[in-house]
Amino acid sequence: MRRLTLFVFAIAAIITFGLTSASFTPDAQAAKRGKVIGGLAHQMPGWFKESFLDLAEDAQEADEAGKHVIMFMSLNGCPYCTKMLNKVFEGDKAFITRHFDSIGINIKGARMITPPGGEEMSEKMYAQSQRVIGTPTILFLDAKGKQIYRINGYWNPVMFRHALEYVQTKSYKTMKFFAFMKAKAKGPIYSFRAHPMLSKVTDFSKQSKPVAVLFEDKNCTACAKLHDKMLSRADIKKELSAFTFTRLDAYSKEPIIGIDGNKTTGDAWARKLNLGASPTIVVFDEGKERQRISAELYAFHFQYALRYVSSKSYKTHPNWIKYLGEQQERILKTGKNIDIGEQPAASQ
């Protein structure tokens, strides 16, 4: 099954609506070109490692100190990168510096990187080799410089600490992250929220519309915010109307029929999909996964992640970022501004 995972971060093609008034002159009837607004500048923390970017050497040095390497891959103006650095990394600085060597990378940068056993290449080329299409992308490396875990997008401090502990304890050697999270659960902290568009589905193979499956669980630390900030919005509800929108408990043993027509459960399906942490929305159409939303995102990102599937643009755009870039250009030409920052959670 080909999977297109949503990289929920600010890159040049990821955008949000913001209207401006179009001005006209007797000589020009076309609207002025819109602007991209809402980006946030950031700098790598001073406590990040000053590296020569020989990754095998960095990994070996970290291992000798009982640590792993974190590669924080960012882009100028990325609001998610700024939030991740300021709120998450700085907030957990003591734990991170004790157990990790953090290295900052610009995915469009020109500094030279030497990957383990590979040829020297630019930051940009390295990011492409790792199939990084958005930021932040966070790679965890083992003693040989091999990628052992990856986070695409912004995770809140609690979720990210779980990922840190997963790597620091070397649990990646014996289990998937989903199993690690489930094993750590001490008791319910989240009660499933009602939503007017959620429908009960027990046989996913018989759905005529695209299916958006929201995986949640009782230990979810970001589910309430997803409901409050995104799923409550009128514009998001409009996008969801094109789907059969349903929820599965990622821990459930209740029998269901999966998208492939085989018997499964919420728990088994979550493991088969190799989910990271809840909430995750997996979007299917014509029997295949077409999109995945697995990190915090803002309104426009959410809208066009869904619209990419509902419009069946995956048939002409195997790379969803290219589709998003085309939509950005179309909007800018109309004179509308594009806000890539966080918007109020208004039901508008």
Mind listing the domains of the chain with CATH numbers?
A: 5-22+191-339 (3.40.30.10), 55-181 (3.40.30.10)
Q: Is the pLDDT of residue 257 over 90?
A: yes
Length reported for the chain: 348
Q: Calculate the alpha carbon distances from 135 to 8, 39, 141, 232, 305 in Å.
A: 7, 12, 18, 26, 16
User: What is the chain's mean pLDDT, rounded?
Assistant: 88
| Tokens (6 digits) for 203 | 């046989």
Local structure of residue 49 (DSSP, 8 states) = -
What's residue 73's pLDDT?
97
**Strand 244-249 and strand 211-216: pairing?**
parallel
Confidence of residue 3 (pLDDT cuts 50, 70, 90): very low
Lowest mean pLDDT among 212-221, 225-234, 315-324: 315-324
Q: What is the DSSP string of 287-298?
A: TEEEEEE-SB--
Q: How far apart are CA 65 and CA 56, in angstroms?
A: 14
Local structure of residue 203 (DSSP, 8 states) = B
**Strand 100-106 and strand 68-74: pairing?**
parallel
Q: Is the pLDDT of residue 13 over 80?
A: no
What's residue 9's pLDDT?
43
Average pLDDT on 243-260 reads 97
Name residue 134's amino acid. G
| Contact indicator for 194, 259 with CB cutoff of 8 Å | no
Higher-confidence position of 19 and 79 = 79
Q: Which residues contact 25 (CB under 8 A, 6 or more apart)?
A: none
CA 299, 305, 306, 308 dihedral sign is positive
Q: Residue 37 — φ and ψ, nearest 5°?
A: -125, 170
- Rounded to two decimals, the pTM is 0.87
Confidence of residue 119 (pLDDT cuts 50, 70, 90): very high
E-only strand ranges, the chain: 5-6, 17-18, 36-37, 68-74, 100-106, 112-113, 121-122, 137-141, 147-152, 211-216, 244-249, 255-257, 263-265, 280-285, 288-293, 337-339
> Can you state the percent helix, strand and coil of the chain, rounding each to 5?
30, 20, 45
Q: pLDDT tens digits for 268-307?
A: 999 999 998 899 999 999 999 999 999 988 888 889 899 9
**R_g of the chain computed on alpha carbons:** 21
Q: How far apart are CA 282 and CA 302, in angstroms?
A: 12
Higher-confidence position of 8 and 218 = 218
What's residue 31's pLDDT?
62
